[in-house]
Amino acid sequence: MIISLKNEILIRKRELKDKKIESIYFGGGTPSVLSTIEINSLIQTVYDNYLVNDSVEITLEANPDDLTNKKILELSKTRVNRLSIGVQSFFQKDLTLMNRSHTSNQALDCIKSAIKYFDNISVDLIYGIPGLDNLRWKENIEILISHNISHISAYALTVEPKTALKKYIDNGIISPIDDSQSQQQFYILLDILENHNYENYELSNFAKNKLYSVNNSAYWTRKKYIGIGPSAHSFNGNDRFWNINNNIKYIESLNNNVLPNSKESLSLIDKFNETVMFGLRTNKGISLVDIENEFGTIYKNQIIENSQNHINNELLIIKNKYLYITRKGKFLSDGIASDLFMLN
């Protein structure tokens, strides 16, 4: 598989041409199972074939049970300079309900080890878990603050079909997700983190000292990116690509120097709707000047018109020719964005 990943990196280098790489992200699945040699080898392949920014962010995503003290020490000797850790909760009750493979002790031990070797760490939390009271939710947040974690991502729990959690809810064993509880815990999160100088630069993401995720920020601003490996997604500004999700077929295709991906070309309306959806999620908002320049006056006038009801309800605000979501509207962002979409 490593050979195939390198082959894809080589084949696709022309896609970014003279653009400098700002982020290398090892994510999806369990990239932490890669050895130090394999990680260094993949990173070196990028350096050998692309222009790489001197301040490139190199992130490895992992769960606490994969990040032993030994593994973290090994990673600190690679070019990886940022860890993204899927803690989700520091309480065993919550982890068991979500069928997570790590324990609460592993979660805390992982954080304590990580801060010894890495300055730039992101931790994921989940709120709105059935049975998660506000006190326990606050404790989750405060544990990260006490360890001076620089970046926190927090997401409302969603119930996926064909999962144990979905079955438990359907059978009445576990209470269904309470949207009002999720909303309350979201605003608890905002209050606590803002009071500790975290910036809510994107709806689900908070950073201290401007340590935003370079990888995710590129996605929200619709920058070009290349996804390497089975099931990986890519974007070139006009088209979205996704690799085949079958490992054997992926390897066979690259052995024949054929990219194993499919393509979707975005229409002008698709691009506009993405710009609206992503722009509302960030604290930069949506530039009405950029909307007019890229899409035309009709699109600008339409978004202003469609915003009026939400502006009247203090969910949106226009300031200095930018459209922003307000604090009151943040939890409702996806629904508000859909009201601003252009229809085919």
Residue 21's pLDDT is 95
pLDDT per position as a tens digit, 93-106: 999 999 899 999 99
Please tell me the predicted confidence (pLDDT) of residue 229.
94
Instruction: Give residue 1's pLDDT.
Output: 85
Please state the rounded mean pLDDT for residues 73-89: 96
pLDDT one-digit tens code per residue, 260-290 = 999 999 999 999 999 999 999 999 999 999 9
The number of beta carbons lying within 10 Å of the beta carbon of residue 32 is: 21
Q: What is the pLDDT of residues 297-329, one digit of tens each?
A: 999 999 999 999 999 999 999 999 999 999 999
Say whether 7 sits in a helix, a strand or coil.
Answer: helix
| φ, ψ (nearest 5 deg) of residue 212 | -65, 155
Secondary structure class of 21 (helix, strand, coil): strand
Using pLDDT thresholds of 50, 70 and 90, give the confidence band for residue 343.
confident
Q: First-to-last CA distance in the chain?
A: 41
- If one compares 119 and 165, the residue with the highest pLDDT of the two is 119
Task: Indicate if the pLDDT at residue 56 is higher than 70.
Answer: yes
What pLDDT sits at residue 34?
A: 87
Contact 64, 107 (CB under 8 A): yes
DSSP assignments along 118-180, one per residue: -S-EEEEEEE--TT--HHHHHHHHHHHHHTT-SEEEEEE----TTSHHHHHHHTTSSPPP-HH
The answer to whether residue 58 scores a pLDDT higher than 70 is yes
Class of domain 268-340: mainly alpha
Please give the pLDDT value at position 49.
94
Buried b (16+ CB within 10 A) or exposed e, 164-179: ebeebbeeeebeebee
286 class by beta-carbon count within 10 Å (0-12 exposed, 13-18 middle, 19+ buried) = buried
Q: What is the pLDDT of residue 29?
A: 65
With a threshold of 0.75, does the pTM exceed it? yes
What pLDDT score does 158 carry?
A: 84
Position 32 scores a pLDDT of: 75
Give me the pLDDT at residue 165, please: 72
Does the domain made of 20-219 have the CATH classification 3.30.750.200?
yes
Indicate the domain borders of the chain. Answer: 20-219, 268-340
Rama region for 27: left / alpha / beta (φ>0; ψ in -120 to 50; rest) = beta
Q: Is residue 243 pLDDT above 90, yes or no?
A: yes
Kindly report, residue by residue over 106-163, the tens digit of the pLDDT. 999 999 999 999 999 999 999 999 999 999 999 999 999 999 999 999 999 987 777 7
